[in-house]
Amino acid sequence: MSMPSIETLLVVVVLAPLVGAVLNGLFSRFLKHSTVSLLGVGAPVVAFAAALLAVIQWLPLRASLPDASVTVMLFKWIEAGPIVIDASLYLDPLSAVMILVVTGIGSLIHLYSVGYMHDDSSYARYFSHLNLFTFSMLLLVLGRSLLLLFVGWEGVGLCSYLLIGFWFTDMDKAIAGKKAFIVNRIGDFGFLLALFFLLFHLNGTLDVPSLRQAVADPTSVFNTDTAMVTLVTLLLFVGATGKSAQIPLYVWLPDAMAGPTPVSALIHAATMVTAGVYMIARLNFLFVLAPVSMAVIASVGAVTAIFAASIGLVQNDIKKVLAYSTVSQLGYMILGVGVGAFGAGVFHLMTHAFFKACLFLGAGSVIHAMAGEQDIRKMGGLAKKMPFTRWTFLISTMAIAGVPFLSGFFSKDEILFKTLTYHHVSGVVPEWLSVVWFALALGAALMTAMYMFRLYFLTFSGEQRDHHAHPHESPATMTIPLVVLAIGAALAGYLGLPDPSLNVWEHLLAPVFGAAEESILATGSHALELGLMGVSTVVALTGIGLAWWLYRGAGQQVPARIAASMSGLHRLLSNKYYVDEIYDTLVIRPLKAYAHFLWKWIDVGLIDGIMVNGPARLLSAVGGAGRRLATGDVQGYAAALVVGLAVIVFLFL
């Protein structure tokens, strides 16, 4: 049997989850529980297999392909005058990596969900939404046109909303879903504006490869109208701050933990939240033309990284810690792409997908075992009772903390290196700013190591502090994904070793980022990079050591003392810098008051009262008079026909 073509396989990749979503969504009433599982898990697995086959075929061919890419034209979507938009899929190194991550990790999380959601009454709805999410995410990643990407972008937002509010009978969870949706909409608005500017003020195409070609032409509008490019890239970045949870729009992500834990793992750690990073990487050629935007992006990323990490230090809910950790790590990725290290940013995206998904699933396993308890202060001593969960969690924790030779170490290190050397290549960024970013990132790394090991120690080591629950290891459907992900978390980093000859990753992604990265090639030496590795190793180990001392060793009284002596700071951190409250006062309340005014005075009074009901009453009166003409009398109707003819004859002849 010959292998299906890459084109066919790509269509399968996208459609399989959609089919799963439709079948489980519409026909769940007629399906058995096991069939729902089979469909729900089968869809992403089929997609993964197809993606794998497609990539395997594509790998040897790619040198001979233009931009190492394959395009599948599905249908002509929009044709309005000069604007022609196709619905087509686009496989290139970047999307190849992304579809493998999305379908691969997605499959594992779907499998895990079989165990985790087993007893839920809305089992089929869960899988339907999760499949729909996978479909949207794949559309986002594979869309050749930015508009198709935007469809996926909105689709994942919708699914995120549906899944955060999955248990919508709980009001808080429904509200968390709404919050996520609304905050995301703000970002989407920026994105959409950027698309409009691209379409109507720049060269009028949303097709990514065409944009890239246009940018390459030095006389094109992109190279002459820097102000517009800066505006567009900043608006795009507004979109990214929404989806990738950066300051100031990160507030929805911690609340998003209201959804089922596998959802947090898939959507709010591994895939959807990286969409912003992906989008910036996808449009790298555009962003490098706007150094000011790049500086803004890097600054926001660096600040977000340390800001979220500092909040993570004092959180007690296991999922909240991971949520802030995700925000912080996303900050890292944003910092990476902001300093032009697109490959490194996406590299961190991939390694993060492994270890963070593993951590979330581990957390889910713990919560499952603790009968729904999420407060780490009530846990402890789970190491013996849950060996699989414990070891996989430990590996991932080490990976995220940056322990040498695990995946997080390599990817984080590369970002740090590029950050420190960025001022050499950017005309805008002074050296001190580079250094500040570097310092912030390093501080974030220290805190990451601390709060992650705090989490680990409080959860797994010591004695169980609360004896209500009877923890036990989770079923195989849950532990198998953990093990696979932990292996990934440990080894994925070896794709991007810090030696040019060994760095498979950069070699692979060169067709996408090569030109952009070359234009801002870092001039730092190899020695500096190795030196920085030493520094970050020290930082990571320091963080781990501190965590050991404070939560396992002699210093166990210290946290309480610090909290007491610096109660202001502690309160500030515990309350997450009061950001939600500030937003509430500054944005939400005035908006509500304004909306109330619009509703009561403009809508009900002016529009409904005068402008709508007025004409409607008038029209009703006219219509009522006209209705009396339709008497139902057939002779009358025939007479009316003649009258009509007579009128026409008299008017025209």
Q: Which is nearer to other proteins, 168 or 391 (CB)?
A: 168
Taking each helix axis from N to C terminus, what angle separates 93-116 and 504-519, rounded to the nearest 10 degrees?
A: 130
Question: How many other CB atoms are there within 10 angstroms of residue 228's CB atom?
Answer: 16
Q: Which is nearer to other proteins, 158 or 436 (CB)?
A: 158
DSSP string, 539-601: HHHHHHHHHHHHHTSGGGGHHHHHHHHTHHHHHHHHTGGGHHHHHIIIIIHHHHHHHHHIIII
Min dist CB 615 to other proteins, Å, is 8
**How far apart are alpha carbons 307 and 199 in whole angstroms?**
36
Are 176 and 255 in contact by the 8 Å Cβ rule? The answer is yes
Of 508, 331, 541, the C-alpha closest to 415 is 331
Q: Which two tokens stand for residue 224?
A: 């002459």
Min dist CB 626 to other proteins, Å, is 5
Residues 6+ apart with CB under 8 A from 444: 302, 305, 306, 309, 328, 331, 332
Secondary structure letter of residue 474 according to DSSP: P
Min dist CB 603 to other proteins, Å, is 16
Min dist CB 14 to other proteins, Å, is 16
Q: Which is nearer to other proteins, 140 or 344 (CB)?
A: 140
Q: Which is nearer to other proteins, 218 or 626 (CB)?
A: 626
Residues 6+ apart with CB under 8 A from 413: 402, 498, 529, 532, 533, 536
Q: How far is CA 584 from the centre of its chain?
A: 24
Are 447 and 310 in contact by the 8 Å Cβ rule? The answer is yes
Cis peptide leading into residue 248 (ω within 30°): yes
Q: Which is nearer to other proteins, 607 or 630 (CB)?
A: 630
H/E element, 90: strand 83-91
Are 243 and 189 in contact by the 8 Å Cβ rule? The answer is no
Are 244 and 348 in contact by the 8 Å Cβ rule? The answer is no
Q: Which two tokens stand for residue 524?
A: 């730092």
Min dist CB 21 to other proteins, Å, is 16
Q: Which is nearer to other proteins, 74 or 515 (CB)?
A: 74
Q: Which is nearer to other proteins, 530 or 616 (CB)?
A: 616
Min dist CB 131 to other proteins, Å, is 20
**How far apart are alpha carbons 264 and 319 in whole angstroms?**
9
Min dist CB 20 to other proteins, Å, is 19
Q: Which two tokens stand for residue 281?
A: 């990487």
Q: Which is nearer to other proteins, 527 or 629 (CB)?
A: 629
Amino acid at 417: F
Min dist CB 293 to other proteins, Å, is 33
Min dist CB 621 to other proteins, Å, is 9
**How far apart are alpha carbons 650 and 653 in whole angstroms?**
6
Q: How far is CA 316 from the centre of its chain?
A: 24
Q: Which is nearer to other proteins, 467 or 627 (CB)?
A: 627
**How far apart are alpha carbons 352 and 202 in whole angstroms?**
35
Enumerate binding residues for other proteins (CB under 8 A): 75-79, 87, 616, 619-620, 622-624, 626-627, 629-653
Q: Which two tokens stand for residue 109?
A: 């999380």
**How far apart are alpha carbons 309 and 316 in whole angstroms?**
14
Q: Which is nearer to other proteins, 78 or 588 (CB)?
A: 78
Min dist CB 348 to other proteins, Å, is 37
**How far apart are alpha carbons 517 and 515 in whole angstroms?**
6
Q: How far is CA 135 from the centre of its chain?
A: 14
Q: Which is nearer to other proteins, 34 or 635 (CB)?
A: 635
Min dist CB 211 to other proteins, Å, is 22
Min dist CB 136 to other proteins, Å, is 16
Q: Which is nearer to other proteins, 26 or 586 (CB)?
A: 26
